[in-house]
């Protein structure tokens, strides 16, 4: 009986696996041949300075709508694009769109783009960024670059140098998803980031869990001591926001302020935010 069940389960998994593998292969091929302008677009999520209650930046988030498969979640296609190398042209497309988008925003608002570790490994990311800034006539300080901790695990002197060169161009560097993966507090000091983004994992239960609250408070204190701005990600409720404010968090991002929105919706969002701000 148990044996038969085992085999049944195995066959079930095998079929599921095949399906998943097939989809993956299909997406790999599609990513190689897709017309980026037609199938991809960016959405933008505001980042709020809590002291001034002002929008300081938007994070650009990539969206893929396949003509027959429909929307593909970033968590699915980004890793495929990384494995196949498609992330290099795709990432460059993102950076160009972000540079162009800054021109539609007020001068004091920047845009953050996510960079994949592969863009450091398979591309000379520094010259790519420099070229795009020049081509699009964008001031470097309008562009923020988000990198994840996994990148820091790898080598390296080259990474160190690349990050320094990117900062020297005038762009700010944020450490994204801090606290997940193989994070180490020593990274914060070693790499001298401009910003640390605390992963939303830690915010989720901040109102209920004293441990989570203590972790966030510790990261905030340390970042402050090291002269870095903090962005608390994934703020969804007023109660979470109250706690983060009380803890001295400098910036926040999350669905409480706005979900990621289309370029066309930004002006209206900024106007509305301003209205609420002067009413408050
Ligand atoms: P991320 O860079 O940490 O981006 C934040 C993610 O949290 C986004 O998911 C955003 O929609 C989501 N989020 C923001 N506020 C809230 C909230 O209050 N509640 C909840 N539940 N979620 C919230 P998204 O857009 O699905 O992106 C997932 C990840 O995909 C990103 O995480 C980033 O690592 C990656 N990604 C997105 N766009 C790009 C890109 O252009 N290049 C690269 N390399 N990676 C990208
Ligand atoms: Mg990010
Ligand atoms: Mg993040
Ligand atoms: Mg993330």
- Per-residue DSSP letters for 230-280? EEE----SHHHHHHHHHTT--EEESTTT---B-GGGHHHHHHHHHHHHHH-
Decide whether any atom of ligand 1 lies within 6 Å of the 82 Cβ. Answer: no
Looking at residue 279, its pLDDT comes to 86
Looking at residue 280, its pLDDT comes to 78
Looking at residue 99, its pLDDT comes to 98
Looking at residue 85, its pLDDT comes to 94
Which residue is closest in CA terms to ligand 1's atom 15? 254
Looking at residue 6, its pLDDT comes to 53
Looking at residue 274, its pLDDT comes to 94
Q: 24 φ, ψ to 5°? A: -60, -45
Looking at residue 2, its pLDDT comes to 42
Q: 144 CB contacts (<8 Å, ≥6 apart)?
A: 57, 110, 111, 112, 113, 171, 172, 173, 174, 194, 195
Chain centre to alpha carbon of residue 176 = 6
Q: 41 φ, ψ to 5°? A: -150, 165
Looking at residue 179, its pLDDT comes to 84
Question: Are the C-beta atoms of 77 and 61 separated by less than 8 Å?
Answer: no
Based on DSSP, count helices (H) and strands (E) in the chain, helices before strands: 12, 9
Per-residue confidence of the chain (280 residues) as pLDDT tens digits? 444 455 555 555 566 678 889 999 999 999 999 999 999 999 999 999 999 999 999 999 999 999 999 999 999 999 999 999 999 999 999 999 999 999 999 999 999 999 999 999 888 999 999 999 999 999 999 999 999 877 777 667 788 889 999 999 999 999 999 988 776 777 787 887 999 999 999 999 999 999 999 999 999 999 999 999 999 999 999 999 999 999 999 999 999 999 999 999 999 999 999 999 888 7
Burial label for 256, CB within 10 Å (0-12, 13-18, 19+), is middle
Question: Are the C-beta atoms of 191 and 152 separated by less than 8 Å?
Answer: yes
Q: How far apart, in whole angstroms, are the C-alpha atoms of residue 164 and residue 184? A: 20
Ligand 3 geometric centre to CA of 46 (Å): 13
Chain centre to alpha carbon of residue 130 = 20
Looking at residue 241, its pLDDT comes to 97
| Ligand sitting nearest the alpha carbon of 45 | 1
| Ligand sitting nearest the alpha carbon of 231 | 3
CB atoms within 10 A of CB 238: 9
Which residue is closest in CA terms to ligand 1's atom 22? 234
Looking at residue 194, its pLDDT comes to 94
CA atoms within 13 A on the CB side of 88: 13
Looking at residue 68, its pLDDT comes to 93
Q: How far is CA 230 from CA 4, 40, 149, 214, in A?
A: 54, 30, 15, 15
Ligand 1 geometric centre to CA of 3 (Å): 43
pTM: 0.93
C-alpha closest to that of 252 among 45, 47, 44, 43: 47
Using alpha carbons only, how large is the chain's radius of gyration in Å?
A: 20
Q: How far apart, in whole angstroms, are the C-alpha atoms of residue 49 and residue 53? A: 5
Decide whether any atom of ligand 1 lies within 6 Å of the 260 Cβ. Answer: yes
CA atoms within 13 A on the CB side of 271: 5
Of all atoms in ligand 1, which is nearest to the CA of residue 148?
A: 34
Question: Are the C-beta atoms of 115 and 125 separated by less than 8 Å?
Answer: yes
Give me the residue label for tokens 């450490």.
Answer: 175
Decide whether any atom of ligand 1 lies within 6 Å of the 255 Cβ. Answer: yes
Question: Complex ipTM above 0.95?
Answer: yes
Decide whether any atom of ligand 1 lies within 6 Å of the 92 Cβ. Answer: no
Q: Tell me the sheet residues that pair with 176.
A: 148
Of all atoms in ligand 1, which is nearest to the CA of residue 87?
A: 44
């Amino acid at each position: 009986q148990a044996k038969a069940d085992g085999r049944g389960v195995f066959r079930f998994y095998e079929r599921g696996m095949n399906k998943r593998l097939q989809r993956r292969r299909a997406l790999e091929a599609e990513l190689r041949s897709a017309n980026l302008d037609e199938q991809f677009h960016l959405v933008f999520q505001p980042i709020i300075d809590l002291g001034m209650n002002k929008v300081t930046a938007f994070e650009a988030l990539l969206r893929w709508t396949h003509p027959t498969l429909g929307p593909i979640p970033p968590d699915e296609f980004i890793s495929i694009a990384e494995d196949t190398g498609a992330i290099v042209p795709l990432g460059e497309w993102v950076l160009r769109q972000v540079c162009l988008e800054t021109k539609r925003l007020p001068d004091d608002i920047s845009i953050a783009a996510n960079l994949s570790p592969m863009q450091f490994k398979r591309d000379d990311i520094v010259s790519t960024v420099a070229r795009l800034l020049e081509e699009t006539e964008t001031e470097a300080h309008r562009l923020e670059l988000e990198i994840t901790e996994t990148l820091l695990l790898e080598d390296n002197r080259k990474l160190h140098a690349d990050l320094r060169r990117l900062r020297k161009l005038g762009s700010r560097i944020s450490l994204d998803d801090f606290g997940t993966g193989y994070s180490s507090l020593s990274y914060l000091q070693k790499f001298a980031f401009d910003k640390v983004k605390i992963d939303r994992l830690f915010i989720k239960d901040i109102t209920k869990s004293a441990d989570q609250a203590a972790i966030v408070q510790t990261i905030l204190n340390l970042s402050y001591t090291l002269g870095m701005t903090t962005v608390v990600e994934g703020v969804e409720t007023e109660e979470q926001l109250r706690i983060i404010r009380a803890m001295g968090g400098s910036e926040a991002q999350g669905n409480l302020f706005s979900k990621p929105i289309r370029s066309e919706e930004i002006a209206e969002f900024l106007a509305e935010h301003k209205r609420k701000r002067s009413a408050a």
